Every structure is written in structure tokens, then in C-alpha cells.
Structure 1
Amino acid sequence: MSIITSARRVTAVAAVVVAALSGAVLTAPAAHAAPELHWNDSGMKNPDSRFLEMWHPGKHIGNIHWSADPIVASHLGDTLYVNDLASDGYSIRGQVKQVSTGEIIIDIGTAGKTAPAQVKKTKNLKEGTKVQIRGCVMKAGKSHGCTSWYSARA
């Protein structure tokens, strides 16, 4: 071992000993976790429909409602309603995925609207088409948590 390499090792060991004896500890800054999203899947009379209530952080902030043929004998078809209830800087996004293809066929949100706000989108799907719905909390185009996917039908 050369004298230069030996001197570097002694210097490195000395620095570690000094840091340990002085009580100096290097730590990374604490991570700030995003507030946690909670939700509840509420029952509906129509088993093909779904209603998800969303809380973030601990405050009821919005709903996602999938209504299979909302008005009997109407031309409206199947409708996803997205409600943002809180003026908190977050928006609510609702998505509908067609199970057979895995394709998201409805993707709407309340971004850019003043709460309380509601948006809806209708798609006249073939009766019995299996879909899944979910809701997400968004801020500046970034997701801050989504519900699980829930089964429904057209």
C-alpha cells in the first residue's frame, strides 16, 4: 500500500471518528406523505349502479356515481356523475373501464371548476356490458390517490 493511499484511509477514518464523537448525524429530510384517501361503496337499488363516497383527509370531498340507464325508457344511456364537494384545491376524477377490453371509456373530472361542482358524461352502452368504476383525487394534474375499481353493468 502506498503512503498516499494509507494517508487517505487514515483521514477518512479520522473524519468518521470525529463525526461519531461529536454526535453529528446526517439524515435525510422527513418525507411528507400525501393525505390518505378513504372511500365507501354505498348500496344502490339498481345492482348495476354504484355510488362511491370519498374522504380526503377525513373530510367528505366528493362522490362518483355510475347510473345504468338513469331514466327508464330514455335515450340518455348510462351516465357517470362526478361531484366535487370541497373547495380545497383538489379535484375529483371519475373513470369507467370496459371489462372486456380493459379500455377506459369515460374519464371526466372537476379540474378547473369551482366547488361544489358536478360533471357528467353519458355513453349508451349495450345492455349488460360489464364495466368497472373508480374515483381519484387530483391536484395540478397529479393523482393523490384512487379508489379500488368497482364492478357495475350497463
Structure 2
Amino acid sequence: MPRSNVRRRTAAVAAVIGLALSGSVLTAPAAQAAPKLTWKETALKENLKKDGSRSFQLYHHPHNIGAVTWAADPLVGIWTGDTLYINDKRSDGYYVVGQVKQVSTGKTIININTKGKTAPSEVKKTKNLKEGTKIQFRACIKKGSTNHGCTSWFSAKA
């Protein structure tokens, strides 16, 4: 067989193999993005908002996965004051982290999570603060050591 025919056949086989490989790369499934964390403020009575309490429902699209609540003052039978509550509603491998920082110092004064707890679960931490102390709080969603998003920092007070 002449050399030019061998080269053409070799080039043709290489081209077919190249197309086959590029086709498999092009048809590989796309990586799945982690669900996005969103939140919505929970309607609290006006007197609770005035005292500095706030609450947010957490959504890891499309599911309601938990909540984060700052309770500024005690509400008999429901919550103690100056307390951060976090709830994890789903057994999905993710866990909720709650953080509170004091605005005047920027220092984190509460850092709690639901890691390792069977859902539904609630974790709370109380910190007795001087009345009117400005704080900020937020929630984050994690799986293992990977952070899958945090809410904004919400302003509240003790």
C-alpha cells in the first residue's frame, strides 16, 4: 500500500476517534449546583418587633428547611429573652448554624448549630445582655464543612 494511503487512513481513524471522544465530553452531564438559600421574615406581633425580636423562615429551594429567631425579651411559655433559636426541619444532611454578634464590638457572642441532631430539631443559646444592646444575627446552611449560604445579617436588640 502506498504511503499516502496509509497516512490518509491513519488520519481518518484519528479523526473518528477524536470526534467520538469530543462527543462524549460534550454530552457529559452538567454538574448540579447546590440549592440556593433564601429566607422570608416571619410575621411577629408588633409589640414583639418593637422589643427587638425578629424571626425568619429558611428555604433551601424549594423546601422550608428551618428558621432562625432572635427573642429579645421573654414570652411566658414560649421563649426566654436574649436568646437565639435555630430550627432544622429536614433530615437532609444539611445543618443550620446560627450566629449573633454585638454591633458595638463586632464580636460573635453566640455561635450554635444543629449538626448531628435528628431533625426536626431546635437549638437555643441565651446570653444575658444589657437592655437595648444592638446585635446582628444570621443563619447559615452547611453540609459537612461546606457552607451552602448564609442569610444577611439582621439587626435586632436585646
| 2:56 is equivalent to residue 52 of structure 1 | yes
Match of 1:113 in 2: 117
CA contact (8 A) 1:53 1:63 kept: yes
Match of 1:63 in 2: 67
SS of residue matched to 1:152? strand
Q: Which has the higher helix share?
A: 2
Distance 2:139 2:53 in 1: 14
State which drifts further: 22-31 or 36-45.
22-31
Q: Runs of 5+ in structure 1 lacking a partner? A: 1-17
| TM-score of the superposed pair, with normalisation by structure 2 | 0.75
CA contact (8 A) 1:92 1:138 kept: yes
| 2:41 is equivalent to residue 37 of structure 1 | no
Match of 1:93 in 2: 97
The residue correspondences of 1:1-154 to structure 2 (distance < 5 A) are: 30-45=30-45, 46-47=48-49, 48-71=52-75, 77-154=81-158
Identity %: 57
Q: CA RMSD in A?
A: 2.5
| TM-score of the superposed pair, with normalisation by structure 1 | 0.77
Distance 1:84 1:120 in 2: 12
Distance 1:61 1:69 in 2: 25
**AA of the residue aligned to 2:41:** D
Equivalenced residue count is 135
Q: CA deviation at 1:34?
A: 1.1
Q: Runs of 5+ in structure 2 lacking a partner? A: 1-13
